[in-house]
A and B are shown apart, each in its own frame.
Chain A
Amino acid sequence: MVISIKHAKFKFFQVIPLFLLFYISLNGSSTLDFKLFTINLHYILVYFWILRRPEVLGYGFIFFSGIITDVMFGLPLGVTALTLLIIAAVATYVRVVTVRVGLISDWLGFIPALILASLIYFISLYFSGYTIDYLYLIMNSLFTFTFYPLLWALFTFLLNLMR
């Protein structure tokens, strides 16, 4: 009985990141807009969970979530999916090479992930003939990096609840 309750609790908390992944895609709120700055919640969510608990977010789910975001934002299909998968790839690589897990190592690994993702985003949109505000893209990446520790703490708390 105790085991089944524990298992149910584990399952419940395990579903939260996946639910969040699809909710922010369908709700069009993958980029949180706080007037003065914006944070890409999608990037942080994918990076953190692939780094810490990859079985929670499947690569296939990340791909579909990216497709939904593309449709919601009116971008060419596949652009966000590709950037999210790049983030996931960097997170997987960081997970393989990192021995000690901690905020600083996670945070530092997030820099190449953001640079690569923004670069891919820029190139894909440029060749698809979309004009976007590049300054916005840079500022968004900067603030996403800056606010990573805040969400890291929140997700780590959720991760602890799963144990």
Chain B
Amino acid sequence: METSREDIGILIRSALLKKGTRQRFSLIVLIICSFILIYIDTFEAKPLSYVRSVLKDTIYRGSAVVSLPSNGLRQITGGVKEHLELFDKYKKLEKENNELKEKIIDPDYLLFENELLKKLIQDQVYSSSYLVSARVLLDKQSPYLNSFIINSGSNKNIKNGMAVLDGKNFVGRTVDVNFFSSRILLVTDLNSKIPVIIEPSGHHAILSGTGTKEPVLDFLPKEHTLKLGNKVYTSGKAGIFSPGIPIGEVNKIDNKEISISLFTDISQITFINVNLQKERD
């Protein structure tokens, strides 16, 4: 019995402590380093943030270079596929165009009405000077985090928690800002919780990501009157984001959950706008 315990001890020692063939570090030292790194990562000190920023910027740029061949291949296959589908698309667009022509009404009145309503809810009609445009640098969908990397960071006054828009539609917020890059946590991610308002009922709720393309509404009043097609906007509650940024519309209502289809197809984003309003305020 004593011998077998000794054997196991020797085995573990040789597996973990010895450096082994041509190994410069022992496993146990690196495992301890990993634990220390995880612990240090929870601290928010300026020198640490600086080091993290440099490390992440370097890795993102390196990744962009490494991904060039696979991105190029994807673009070529995408281009070929698009060309093959061109005729069908043309037919579909022609049909859509005819339908829209039939439905067309004078938009001036609607624009005027929209302005009036915005003033009524004291919406801050943000000017384009509050927006910083950026390009999506990396769109590697992490299995655990729905996010992407953009090519602007604190060099463009971007800070954590700012709203990110695709055109005028809300797609997520900044969560990890470096000097020349930032990570955008998409509204579909499990960690995303956005205070929203639903029109026309005016109910407040929290839009929670589910990891799928369709986030769900939480904390709605029990007696809500939501219907399919109701629009969802940021509520501006708690001063996190500007109010009235369009997000999506209700597309499924059942007993368990109400899911939202986003106005933006998040898999097709190339350029985004970061709303700097939070910082200016």
Residues of A within 8 A of B (CB): 23, 26-29, 31, 33, 38, 54-55, 58-60, 62-63, 66-68, 71-79, 81-82, 85-86, 88-89, 92-93, 95-97, 124-125, 128, 130-133, 136-137, 140
Contact = CB atoms under 8 A, between A and B. Distances in A.
Contacts of A59: 20, 23-27, 30
A59 B12 CA distance: 16
Contacts of B38: 76-79, 82, 124, 128
Given A58-B22, A85-B27, A74 B145 contact: yes
Given A60-B24, A132-B190, A28 B34 contact: no
A23 B20 contact: no
B240 interface: no
Interface string B133-155: 00000101111110100000000
Interface of B: 11-12, 14-16, 20-27, 30-31, 33-38, 40-42, 52, 55-56, 59-60, 62-63, 66-67, 70, 138, 140-145, 147, 175-176, 183, 185, 190-191, 211
A140 B142 CA distance: 13
B23, B138, B143: residue with the most chain A Cβ atoms closer than 10 Å: B143
B261 to A, nearest CB: 20
Nearest to B66: A26
10 contacts: A26-B59, A27-B70, A28-B138, A54-B20, A74-B185, A76-B41, A82-B31, A86-B31, A128-B38, A136-B143
Contact of B66 (A23, A89, A95, A96): A23
A85 B143 contact: no
B142 A73 contact: yes
B267 to A, nearest CB: 13
A58 B34 contact: no
Contacts of B21: 54-55
Contact of B15 (A74, A93, A124, A137): A93
B56, B175, B176: residue with the most chain A Cβ atoms closer than 10 Å: B56
Contact of B11 (A23, A72, A78, A96): A96
A15 B60 CA distance: 23
Given A33-B143, A71-B56, A82-B38, 7 more contacts: A27-B67, A62-B30, A74-B147, A77-B40, A78-B38, A92-B16, A133-B190
Nearest to A40: B143
A125 to B, nearest CB: 8
A71 B147 CA distance: 12
Contact of B60 (A33, A55, A71, A131): A71
A66 B34 contact: yes
B63 A26 contact: yes
Nearest to B208: A131
A43 B41 CA distance: 23
B59 A63 contact: no
Contacts of A72: 59, 63, 138, 140, 142
B16 A89 contact: yes
Contact of B31 (A67, A85, A136): A85
A125 B14 CA distance: 30
A58 B27 CA distance: 10
A77 B11 CA distance: 30
Contacts of A128: 38, 41-42
